[in-house]
Structure 1
């Protein structure tokens, strides 16, 4: 048993994903300390935490519960920066009781909470809880602090790994940009020159002249699409303004397909972290790809707006409704790309949906909550 728990702790430290690290921490709390449940709240602002990851709970009474500084046991940890323990939550005189209903709903009594620190900042709160009254001793508190320390180290490693991934991604973008410019760009230029030369040689052949003009138009369109792709590769990064990213994808789609694609930002949105920005950009790419492959649309509108304490993107098309009949595709929302997006969204508490409209168009929506800001 001890050997297994030690291995799990090492796996937690080896985790280079923030969400996986926090989810694993909740499970490790319960199994290592022997409590009925363990859960973790992540900072959602300088003075508030939100409980997101739980293990051993029976209900969703605590799921996404916002805990302001000073309130309840977690808020007291935020205020004091040190562990807090109670032997019976709902009767304890040392904490406030705004969350008694939720705690009763989950059937909890004794509880410990400690800060999770990454570097010098509190980034989350770790909880351990029992379903009956208990006087938690110093050993239990120390065990929870040890787990919190390891979680803090795991989060720091995840942050470094994310930065490394972004550096590698930027380098790959530059490599692809250079390769496309040197190969495809040069080839298109050469074809364009040859077509123009042929125009001069066959001025007395109207039929061939017409075909060459169409070819010249195709080369010009391909060159524009290549320029759009090079621009996206050179400037695109998770730290760029999200509206710029989405507008570029609309322009690139329109250049490729000839279908008008309009980007609309309905209101200012908060700045998102790399994970959430990447998810929303991927959702728009997937939505535009579906339109390109299946919709036979006459127009597409991509919208960006704040929604439900988060940010939402919407890709709406006026397709003919023939996509399923012609391509033998499953109903909207069941494709591999959409399932992958939905899984990514769930990891950050978001959601993705694709529905067919009454007029045969389709609407893809992707929503993510605002990121937890470091304290």
Structure 2
């Protein structure tokens, strides 16, 4: 392989690895920043809303464990980054019970453990309140995702009004965290879609170039069979091409790796990108929260729904914008393709009448789902396809 071509291959590999590491670093950094922004100011809001001397917020960073991250009105840094396991202290008790817990005097209370008496003593805290920040899952079960604390610097009874005020702040924090999680899901989908595009680009450019170089080296070896010196050079070139091809293959495999729950959003986002490239009409993909991995049949129905919906918009709608959404609710997963164009003719809201739409409705029905095409009141139309989540294996926790 000529030095210039070998150098080009090496630069391509280096850039691919650098971009991959940068994407991973950005992904992790944005996760932290979003959660920080979602809870930033919560401690101050707790203190002001309840009229307390101090307040702090612990983030539940893993099941059964919270870490104090934000403080307001504190006099020391002893509570900062304090790890609070479930069941310990007032915050751990609030996590375990899922309800507010209050004590008139932390150091003398008999209803909590006293693992954290030293930092509480140095902060000179007396009456204290801990309220779990609850997130309600798809099954309706509320789980703590953070803990909001408020405290006075003397023994006292923290009244119901203060508890109500802190609960309202906790509810606001829970909403902010849900929005942050949705935004993160969208970012991850975008990053994975970009990885797929990088994979295709590298395969088509660097992969094709390596194949061409290898073929030319083999042709030259065949054309000059009786030159031992050139034969050795050809062998080294072939070895270099083989090594570069192996490295490229490993890079492409790394770029293609994704978890099952991310595969569907990435594919739907790619259909939106392809639609926009073909038509010039902006098509935006929105993921409305996490979606559990689906079996191939249900996944195929949802992908077909988006494909059919975008095709109908392209053929008939004369739309200016399209939004494709994916979300889970009440044991189902739903995709919707909404546009602001001219609705297609059909027989009322129950039914798709085109051949493609009828086939889609039949596929959805076989999974126990449903396909509906609706005319929107403000113009345009929306295709909604819903499939039920597959039954869980016996004994698997819900």
2:166 matched residue in structure 1: 144
Give the C-alpha shift of residue 70 in structure 1: 4.5
The correspondence of residues 183-262 of structure 1 with structure 2, limited to 5 A, is: 183-236=205-258
CA drift of 1:79 comes to: 4.1
Superposed CA offset, 1:322-373 (max 9, x none)? xxxxxxxxxxxxxxxxxxxxxxxxxxxxxxxxxxxxxxxxxxxxxxxxxxxx
The whole-number CA distance in structure 2 between the counterparts of 1:89 and 1:228 is 57
Is 1:25 matched up with 2:42? Answer: yes
Return the offset for 1:117: 0.5
Contact persistence 1:16–1:157 (CA under 8 A): no
C-alpha separation between the residues in 2 aligned to 1:207 and 1:234?
Answer: 41
- 1:104 Cα shift? 0.2
Moved more, 71-80 or 116-125: 71-80
CA contact under 8 A between 1:16 and 1:161: conserved in structure 2? no
Please state how far the C-alpha of 1:33 moved relative to its aligned partner.
Answer: 4.5
In 1, Cα distance between equivalents of 2:227 and 2:93:
86
1:86: which partner in 2? 103
TM-superposed deviation, 1:180: 1.2
Counterpart in the other structure of 1:112: 129
Q: 1:199 to 1:22 in 2, by over 3 A?
A: same
Q: Structure 1 CA distance, aligned partners of 2:90 and 2:196?
A: 49
- The Cα shift of 1:150 comes to 1.1
Distance 1:211 1:238 in 2: 46
Give the Cα–Cα distance (whole angstroms) in 2 for the partners of residues 69 and 219 of structure 1.
56
- Structure 1 residue 107 displacement after superposition: 1.9
Alpha-carbon deviation of 1:227?
A: 0.5
Aligned equivalent of 2:378? none
- TM-score, normalised relative to structure 1: 0.52
Give the distance between the partners of 1:228 and 1:177, measured in 2 at CA: 11
Is the CA contact (8 Å cut-off) linking 1:18 and 1:158 kept in structure 2?
A: yes
Cα distance in structure 2, aligned partners of 1:201 and 1:81: 79
Query: Take 1:183 and 1:148, find their aligned partners in 2: how far apart are those partners?
Result: 52
**Normalising to structure 2: TM-score of the pair?**
0.50
Q: How far 1:20 sits from its partner (Å)?
A: 3.5
Q: CA RMSD in A?
A: 3.2
| Higher mean displacement: 109-118 or 30-39 | 30-39
Q: Which has the larger radius of gyration?
A: 2
Which consecutive unaligned segments of at least 5 residues does structure 2 have?
1-31, 137-141, 263-397
How far residue 56 of structure 1 moved from its aligned partner, in angstroms, is 3.5
Structure 1 gap segments, 5+ residues each: 1-14, 241-374
Instruction: Kindly indicate whether the alpha-carbon contact (under 8 Å) linking 1:23 and 1:54 is maintained by their aligned counterparts in 2.
Output: no
- 1:1-375 counterparts in 2 under 5 A? 17-30=34-47, 32-43=49-60, 47-119=64-136, 120-236=142-258
